[in-house]
Amino acid sequence: MGAAIELTGISKRFPGVVANDRVSLTVEEGEIHAICGENGAGKSTLMKILYGMLMADEGRMVVGGKEVRFRSPSDAIDLGIGMVHQHFMLADQFTVLENVILGDEPTRSLGRIDFKKARAHLDEVSKSYGLTLEADELVENLSVGERQRVEIIKVLYRGAKILILDEPTAVLVPQEVEDLFRNLRELKKSGATILFIDHKLQEILAIADTITVLRQGRTVATVKPKDVTAADLAELMVGSELPTPTKVGSTVTDRVAVEVRGVTVLDADERPVVDDVSFEVHHGEILGIAGVEGNGQAELVDALVGTRTVSRGQVLLKGEDATNWNVRRRREAGLAYVPQDRQREGLLLVAPLWENVALGHQTRPPFVKGIWFDRKGARARTEEVRRDFDVRTPNIEVTAHSLSGGNQQKLVVGREMASEPEIFIAAHPTRGIDVGAQAQVWEDLRQARAAGMATVLVSADLEEIIGMSDTIVVMLRGKIVARLDPDTVTPRDLGSYMTGAHLPKEAG
Ligand SMILES: Nc1ncnc2c1ncn2[C@@H]1O[C@H](COP(=O)(O)OP(=O)(O)O)[C@@H](O)[C@H]1O
Ligand SMILES: [Mg+2]
């Protein structure tokens, strides 16, 4: 078997960025080839070039032994290359069959769609690739995993033998990832070649036959999974050793920064989603809140920052009863926060980056001079955040919308940390960002902790919770069901408290 694809010296520049810098990539026929790298490494750009969506500035592409030059995706499709994008492009109100044939309908006389023929072809494709789907189900009734399967079938239906999947696991829960991997292995067995973008190391090692690592637009290595560890891969991705979340010593003081007393938050049906929760966070302390998502952490964070009403109990900030304070007042008292949903709560997507960095901080320096909003100050601060948190963008005048998810997250975390808060409420601060940026956030948290910042850290990343926290509490069904010592607890233990497999020993 020969190479299905050979790319040599591919370069692509965008204003201010070299997205691909003389990249080379060889994909053997019938293999699963993973492309990995940090956010902004140039993975999507390279795949879009291969799919004819973007034209390379330089370089050679050889597909099936022949040099090609694609002017549009239809040229790529003609050569059997198909792409499943990061964001699905399905019509919800249509059935699976209608979605699959959309744009490629077999017609009978007078241009009428030949559904019988389409259905037969769909059946044949589903069967030969072992992908099951209900052809007449409406897409809106499908789970995310099933929608993704529709996208894959749609590509196969058009005769693709080379499949490109751009971060397909980003939207899936672990169970769905397993299903996807099973499907991909089946596809491979029936002769497909698969290009697969991912940045989760364990997933890559589990599925790939070959791995190509991109860093800052360049190919840094092509390796076999059996020859590398997850740590090796991470090192290749970031160019240095894998950073781990750790803290050194204790900086916990005896001054209480946040006190939560018997706080209860009710949902629309008057059921407690946060149920009589109490804890204290001292200056210089990181309190980690662990829990399976949906056990009240998000609502607790809202109650702490002032975006949700507390039904019973009190929130005290630096000794003052802040239970009924609005967000502005809490911010002015020295609180900063990273919201769970950065797109909805944390950013004005249509506004430029520098306005976003001023967001929530407009009333204090460097954003005001006298009584006026200080654009110069805001821009200078934004440049700082951009540099310190490695926000990849051509300039700070672009809208937040144009940043990738990871870069949006870095902007929000950077903005909040740059205000040098005394109290920091961080919901999943490192979610969706690459290892390099994660390490930056951890380092900033450590430094701020040493300087006396009190942190409430909500995270689904158990390594992060254990590594960074001075104290861990576990939330389950709105209650705190355990208080654990991060120096002795294992991720496994923590997991069983989170699911309730442990009987709570110390309820708080
Ligand atoms: N259409 C575009 N216009 C300007 N810059 C872009 C565009 N697409 C990507 N970039 C930039 O090119 C770099 C590589 O992006 P991308 O290929 O999306 O990376 P990855 O998929 O590895 O995260 C990033 O710095 C990104 O901001
Ligand atoms: Mg991408």
Please tell me if the CB atom of residue 356 comes closer than 6 angstroms to any atom of ligand 1: no
**Ligand 1 nearest-atom number relative to CA 47:** 17
Q: Give the angle 164-169-175 at the CA atoms, nearest 5°.
A: 130
- The DSSP H or E segment spanning 33 is strand 32-36
Classify domain 3-238 by CATH number.
3.40.50.300
Distance 218 CA to ligand 1 centre (A): 13
Nearest to 285 by CA among 46, 414, 451: 451
Distance 197 CA to ligand 2 centre (A): 8
Map residue 450 onto helix, strand or coil.
helix
Distance 402 CA to ligand 2 centre (A): 13
Strands (E), 171-253: 193-197, 210-215, 218-223
Answer whether the bond into residue 366 is a cis peptide, omega within 30°: yes
Nearest CA to ligand 1 atom 24: 40
**Ligand 1 nearest-atom number relative to CA 39:** 23
Q: What is the DSSP string of 129-168?
A: HT----TTSBGGGS-HHHHHHHHHHHHHHTT-SEEEESSG
Testing ligand 1's pocket by substitution, the residue of 13, 45, 51 carrying the most ligand atoms inside 8 A of its CB is 45
The total of other beta-carbon atoms located within 10 Å of residue 94's CB is 15
Residues of the chain with pLDDT under 50: 504-508
Distance 19 CA to ligand 1 centre (A): 6
Map residue 405 onto helix, strand or coil.
helix
For the domain made up of 335-420, give the CATH fold.
Rossmann fold (3.40.50)
Task: Choose the CATH number for 255-332+423-428+455-508 among 2.40.50.140, 3.40.50.300, 3.40.50.360, 3.40.50.2020.
Answer: 3.40.50.300
Nearest to 11 by CA among 55, 65, 44: 55
Distance 38 CA to ligand 1 centre (A): 11
Nearest CA to ligand 1 atom 25: 40
Distance 504 CA to ligand 2 centre (A): 42
Q: Is the Cβ–Cβ distance between 406 and 237 less than 8 Å?
A: no
Please tell me if the CB atom of residue 404 comes closer than 6 angstroms to any atom of ligand 1: yes
Testing ligand 1's pocket by substitution, the residue of 213, 404, 408, 433 carrying the most ligand atoms inside 8 A of its CB is 404
Q: Torsion-angle region of residue 30: left (phi > 0), alpha (psi -120 to 50) or beta? A: left
Rounded to an integer, what distance in angstroms lies between the CA atom of residue 236 and that of residue 435? 11
Which residues neighbour 414 within 8 Å (Cβ) at sequence distance 6 or greater? Answer: 357, 385, 386, 388, 389, 391
| Residue 285, both tokens | 């302390």
335-420 and 3-238 share a CATH fold: yes
**What single DSSP character describes residue 216?**
T
Rounded to an integer, what distance in angstroms lies between the CA atom of residue 16 and that of residue 434? 21
Nearest CA to ligand 1 atom 11: 19
Domain ranges for the chain, please list them: 3-238, 255-332+423-428+455-508, 335-420
Q: Which ligand is nearest to the CA of 85?
A: 2
Please tell me if the CB atom of residue 408 comes closer than 6 angstroms to any atom of ligand 1: no
Question: How would you list the strands of the sheet with 17-28, edge to edge?
Answer: 17-28, 3-14, 58-63, 66-68
Q: Is the Cβ–Cβ distance between 251 and 284 less than 8 Å?
A: yes
| Residue 277 pLDDT | 98
Please tell me if the CB atom of residue 380 comes closer than 6 angstroms to any atom of ligand 1: no
Please tell me if the CB atom of residue 445 comes closer than 6 angstroms to any atom of ligand 1: no
Please tell me if the CB atom of residue 45 comes closer than 6 angstroms to any atom of ligand 1: yes
Please tell me if the CB atom of residue 43 comes closer than 6 angstroms to any atom of ligand 1: yes
Nearest to 30 by CA among 195, 199, 205: 195
Phi, psi (degrees; rounded to nearest 5) at 470: -90, -30
Which residues neighbour 28 within 8 Å (Cβ) at sequence distance 6 or greater? Answer: 1, 2, 3, 4, 193, 209, 210
| Residue 504 pLDDT | 47
| Residue 506 pLDDT | 47
Q: Which ligand is nearest to the CA of 39?
A: 1
